[in-house]
Structure 1
C-alpha cells in the first residue's frame, strides 16, 4: 500500500489570504478606534458648546409686583387673581380637547407643552378673565370674517405707511419676522412721538398705533396674541402648521387667525419657539428648562433684545440668569400642579 504525502505547510494562496484577512481586521480595528475617537471628540465639543440650561424655579423669593393695570382690571371684574387662576386651571383640567390640541401643537414646534399651558394660565390670570369654553372663541373668530376694518392710523393705512422712503431698507427682507421687526425698529427710531411732513405720530408702540383698531394696547384670543406679533410670525406658522400666511391689508383675516383657538395655539407655540431660539443663539442660554422664563417672555416680548442684553452682561463677567416677572413667577410657583394637567 502506497502512502500519499500531504503537504501541511500553508500554500502561497493560503498565506496571502490570511495576510489579507489580518490586514482587513487591523484596518477595521483602527477605523473603529478613529470613529469612536471622533464621536467622543464630537460629544465633548457639543457638551462644551451646548447652551447653558437655566436652573429650575424662580430667582425671586417672592412674587414681583403685579402691574396696576392688571390689578384694576381684576378689581373691576369683582374677582381676584387667585379666583381667576383656579378658574382657568379647572377649565384646563376638564377640557381634554384643548389639552390634546396643546400637546399636538407643542410637538410640531419642538417645545414641551407645559410652556403653552403656562402662557394660557398667565394670560387668563392677569390679562383677561378665564374663557368659558373653546366654542366661545370659535364664535368670536367667526364674527371677524368679512368685516371691512383695516390697520391704519387716522387716514393712513399700514401699507401706505410702510411704503414711505424711511422703510426702504426693509423692502429686501422676505422673512416676515425680519421684515416687520425692521419696520417696528424704524417706527421707534424715526416716527414715534415725532412730527413728520406736518403729521404728528403718538408716542406709543407701533402695534398700538397701527394694529389695534378696536382697543389700543389690548390683545385677543385664547393666547392673547398681538396682531403685529402674528404678522411677524406668519412665515413660521405657515411653515410648521400649514396655515395661510397673513396679510396686513386683510385686518379681518389677522383677527380671525388670532381668535381661532386652533390657529392661535400655533402662534403661541411660535412665540415660545422663537424666544427659546433667540436665547440659545444670542445668549447661549437654554430657557426651555424653565417655563417661568418662557412665560415671562410670552408676556413682555422682545426676546431678541433681551437676549442681547443678557449676553452683554454675561460677557462682562456677570454670571446672571434670565429673571421671571410676576407672570412667570406664578407659573414656576405652581409648576407641579400645572404639569398634572398634562
Structure 2
C-alpha cells in the first residue's frame, strides 16, 4: 500500500495514486443484473466506452478543453465517464449517437412532478423555507435534498404518502425514474446543483427547474453536459480539501467514486469527523477510499491515460 504524502505548510494530505483496496470492492447486484440482462459483461462495456474515446479525437479534445477551464486533469473526466458506462449503461459507438438520442428525448413532454404535485408547488411547502436564503445553486439544492430526506422520504405528510426513494428519482426523472442520462450519465438534480458554477466558468445560462425541457436538453447534449461533469469533479476536489484536509486531485479513482455516489461535502464532513475521533484515540487518519467503480478507474489508469 502506498502511504500519503503530507504538505505541512497547508496541513493538507495529498492522497497518492492507486487503490487502497487490493481487490475490487463488491459491485452492486443491480449493476450486475442490468449488465447480464443486456447480454453483456463489465469488461465488454468498459471496452466499448474506451473505444468511444479512442476513435473520437474531437471528443478527447473537448474533454481536454473543459478540464482546463475547470482546473482539473482531464483523466478525471475520462474516468468518470468510462466508469459510468461500464457499470451503468452501455456507451454508444459514436458521439453522434448521443446527439441523436438527445433530440429524440426532447420530443417527450417533460414535467418535474410527483403524483400530480409539481416540483414548484412542492418546494413551496414550509419545510423548505430554511433553504430560501441559500443563493448558490449547489447550496440551495443540497439543502432541499436534505429536507426531502429528513421530512418527506418514506413518510406521510399532510395526508400524502411519499416514496422511500431519492429526491432526484421522485421528482426530477419523469422519463425513467432512477436513471441517469447522456454521455455524463447525469441526473437532473445534479445538473441543477452545478448550474451556478457552470454558468460562472463556461458562460452557459443558469438552469431553472421550472423549465425541465431545458434541463434535459443540457444533460443529454454531449457538448453541454461535459462542463457539468467537470463541475461535479471540481466540487468534489474542493470539498475534500477544504472540509476533510485531503487533496484528491492526483487520484482519479477517488474522484470517480464521488462522481458515482454524490454528496461530496457530506461525505467529506463524515470523513473529517471520523478522523477527528481517530486522532483522539491515537490512531492514524483514514484516507479516502475508492468504491468498485473508482477501483476500476485506478486499476486501468495507465490504459486510460493513453487516450489523452
Matches for 1:251-266 after TM superposition, within 5 Å:
251-266=212-227
Cα offset, 1:56, TM superposition: 1.3
Preserved contact between residue 155 and residue 162 of structure 2 (Cα < 8 Å): yes
2-structure distance, mates of 1:244, 1:143 = 22
| TM superposition shift of 1:91 | 2.1
Query: How far did 1:144 drift?
Result: 4.0
- 74, 81, 94: which one pairs with 1:120? 81
2:182 to 213, 221, 234: 221
1:87 CA drift (Å)? 1.6
Does 2:195 align with 1:234? yes
Whole-angstrom distance in 2 between the partners of 1:83 and 1:148:
34
Which residue number in structure 2 is paired with residue 302 of structure 1? 263
Deviation of 1:174 after TM superposition, in Å, equals: 1.7
Deviation at 1:92, TM superposition (A): 1.0
The 1-side partners of 2:243 and 2:55 are apart by 39
Name the SS of the counterpart of 2:249 in structure 1.
helix
The reply to whether residue 137 of structure 1 matches residue 98 of structure 2 is yes
Higher mean alpha-carbon deviation, 95-104 vs 76-85, is at 76-85
Question: Structure 1 or 2: larger helix share?
Answer: 1
Give the aligned partner of residue 31 of structure 1.
Answer: none
TM-score normalised by L of structure 1: 0.85
Measure how far apart 1:147 and its partner are. Answer: 4.4
Instruction: Give the alignment partner of residue 329 of structure 1, picking from 289, 295, 300.
Output: 295
Q: Cα deviation per residue 1:102-122 (whole Å; 9 max; x = unaligned)?
A: 000000000000000001110
Of 43, 60, 71, which residue of structure 2 is paired with 1:110?
Answer: 71
**Offset, 1:165:** 1.2
Distance 1:75 1:294 in 2: 27
Query: Normalising to structure 2: TM-score of the pair?
Result: 0.94
- Tell whether the 8 Å contact from 1:146 to 1:252 is kept in structure 2 after alignment: no
Q: CA contact under 8 A between 1:283 and 1:311: conserved in structure 2?
A: yes
Distance 2:46 2:67 in 1: 22
Match in the other structure for 1:313: 274
8 Å contact 1:144–1:253 — kept in the other structure? Answer: no
**Cα deviation, residue 171, structure 1:** 1.2
Pairs within 5 Å for 1:44-193? 47-145=8-106, 147-193=108-154
Q: Whole-Å Cα distance in 1 between the matches of residues 154 and 180 of structure 2?
A: 22
In structure 2, C-alpha distance between the alignment counterparts of 1:311 and 1:134, rounded to whole Å: 40
Runs of 5+ consecutive residues of structure 2 not aligned to the other structure:
1-6
Q: Does 1:246 align with 2:212?
A: no
Q: Cα gap change, 1:148/1:114 in structure 2, threshold over 3 Å: closer, same or farther?
A: same
Q: Deviations over 1:38-69 (max 9, x none)?
A: xxxxxxxx852242110210010001111111
Show the counterpart of 1:32.
none
The aligned counterpart of 1:290 is 251
Q: Structure 1's 136 and 287: CA in aligned 2 closer, same or farther, altered over 3 A?
A: same
SS of match in other structure, 1:97:
helix
Deviations 1:287-309 (A, max 9, x none): 11100000000011111111011
Cα distance in 1 for partners of 2:128, 2:91 equals 40
Alignment gaps of 5+ in structure 1: 1-45
Hey, what's the Cα distance between the residues in 1 that align with 2:108 and 2:51? 34
Cα-to-partner distance string for 1:244-297 (whole Å, 9 max, x where unaligned): 111111111111100000111111000000000000000010011100000000
**Contact 1:258–1:264 under 8 Å retained in 2:** yes
> Distance between the aligned counterparts of 1:103 and 1:47, measured in 2?
31
